[in-house]
Amino acid sequence: MAKDRNSGDEYVRPVRRILVGLLIFVLIGLFLLWRIDSPRVERFRANLVDRVMPSFDWALRPVTAATSMFSDFQSYQRIYEQNQELRRELQQMKAWKEAALQLEQKNARLLDLNNVRLDPLLTYVTGVVIADSGSPFRQSVLVNVGKRDGIKDGWATMDGIGIVGRISGVGRNTARVILLTDSNSRIPVAIQPTGQRALLTGDNTAAPPLELLENPELIRPGDRVVSSGDGGVFPAGLLVGQVALGTDGRLRVRLAADYERLEFLRVLRSREHEQIHDPGGLLAPPATTENTTETTEIEAND
């Protein structure tokens, strides 16, 4: 009996080794395929996530809600302090509201005077965040709007206040948003009072640094940072955040969007920018009249 089993083992072991080798070979092959033809494999990944994630939605949402309720519950402990704080803030807000109303009226009047045409096509689709990237190395979230809703790669995404990120990867029902904090995120920005251009480069920290600044000495912490619209990827003038001086001495941006609670995201429909190819014609007096006068002269000479 025992001898029998041993001889069986002799066959089983090498076969197993070959099968495991085959498995590793297939996995490495997939990785190399990804390295060579990344878009195709990434499309497959997007389709897979698109197929699987919405079916987990029923489970994802209650668990997320329960955990956020738990953290809300913890904050009840200091409810009195919070109440006081809110009252103070409300007082300040009333002052701001008054200022905002006045500014709004003034703005409307000025726009009217100038006959400004605002971009009418900047509308948005709102989606709900259904999952995040699940690893500490990638900063992205998945929203429940996709190709079905006309979402396209590269569109800007905001929460109510500021830019959150950029669409990268669209499935039928879901789309992935690469957050500004991801180490692959680069967006062109302008710093408000001086109008300087810079690149906001995510580096996996909560406050991404500004790079490629021309005159860093002109910039003060607290300056507003908005998207500049360079390169035609993002619409211009969307709020990104405020400049802050990091502990490492670099200029960083404190983001305006509330990254603590990303729940509803607006995806801005931005249309293709019209390109101007024509360098502009030479302005000259109309040539045809000259020609006719010449011909008449020639005829007269004849």
Residue 131 found at the interface with other proteins (CB under 8 A) = yes
CB atoms within 10 A of CB 196: 18
- Min dist. Cβ of residue 1 to other proteins (A): 11
Residue 260 found at the interface with other proteins (CB under 8 A) = yes
Residue 183 found at the interface with other proteins (CB under 8 A) = yes
Q: How far apart are CA 54 and CA 64, in angstroms?
A: 15
What are the angstrom distances between the C-alpha of 239 and each of 29, 90, 117, 235, 242?
A: 44, 23, 20, 11, 9
Question: In angstroms, what is the C-alpha Rg of the chain?
Answer: 30
- Min dist. Cβ of residue 205 to other proteins (A): 6
Residue 24 found at the interface with other proteins (CB under 8 A) = yes
**H helices within the chain, ranges in order?**
2-36, 38-75, 79-114, 287-301
List 12, 18, 56, 293, residue binding other proteins (CB under 8 A): 56
Name the token pair of 123.
């509308």
Residue 57 found at the interface with other proteins (CB under 8 A) = no
The stretch near other proteins (CB under 8 A) out of 15-23, 95-103, 218-226, 266-274 is: 15-23
Q: Are 234 and 167 in contact (CB under 8 A)?
A: no
List 8, 12, 18, 31, residue binding other proteins (CB under 8 A): 31
- Min dist. Cβ of residue 220 to other proteins (A): 25
Name the token pair of 38.
């990344």
- Min dist. Cβ of residue 255 to other proteins (A): 10
List 133, 144, 192, 201, residue binding other proteins (CB under 8 A): 133
- Min dist. Cβ of residue 272 to other proteins (A): 28
Residue 69 found at the interface with other proteins (CB under 8 A) = no
Residue 138 found at the interface with other proteins (CB under 8 A) = yes
List 20, 69, 86, 99, residue binding other proteins (CB under 8 A): 20
Residue 39 found at the interface with other proteins (CB under 8 A) = no
Q: How far apart are CA 268 and CA 123, in angstroms?
A: 6
Residue 64 found at the interface with other proteins (CB under 8 A) = yes
Q: Are 176 and 222 in contact (CB under 8 A)?
A: no
Based on CB atoms, which residue is closest to other proteins, 142 or 226? 142
Which residues neighbour 34 within 8 Å (Cβ) at sequence distance 6 or greater? Answer: 41, 42
Name the token pair of 270.
């931005």
- The footprint of other proteins on residues 74-113 (CB under 8 A) is none
**C-alpha 247 chain-centroid distance:** 26
- Which amino acid is it at 234? F
- Min dist. Cβ of residue 232 to other proteins (A): 25
Q: How far apart are CA 125 and CA 144, in angstroms?
A: 11
- Min dist. Cβ of residue 67 to other proteins (A): 6
Q: How far apart are CA 150 and CA 172, in angstroms?
A: 9
Among the listed residues 115, 111, 141, 168, the one whose alpha carbon sits nearest the alpha carbon of residue 265: 141
CB atoms within 10 A of CB 151: 20
- Min dist. Cβ of residue 230 to other proteins (A): 24
Applying CB under 8 A, the residues found at the interface with other proteins are 19-20, 23-24, 26-31, 34-35, 41, 45, 48-49, 52, 56, 59-60, 63-64, 67-68, 129-142, 179, 181, 183-184, 204-206, 259-262
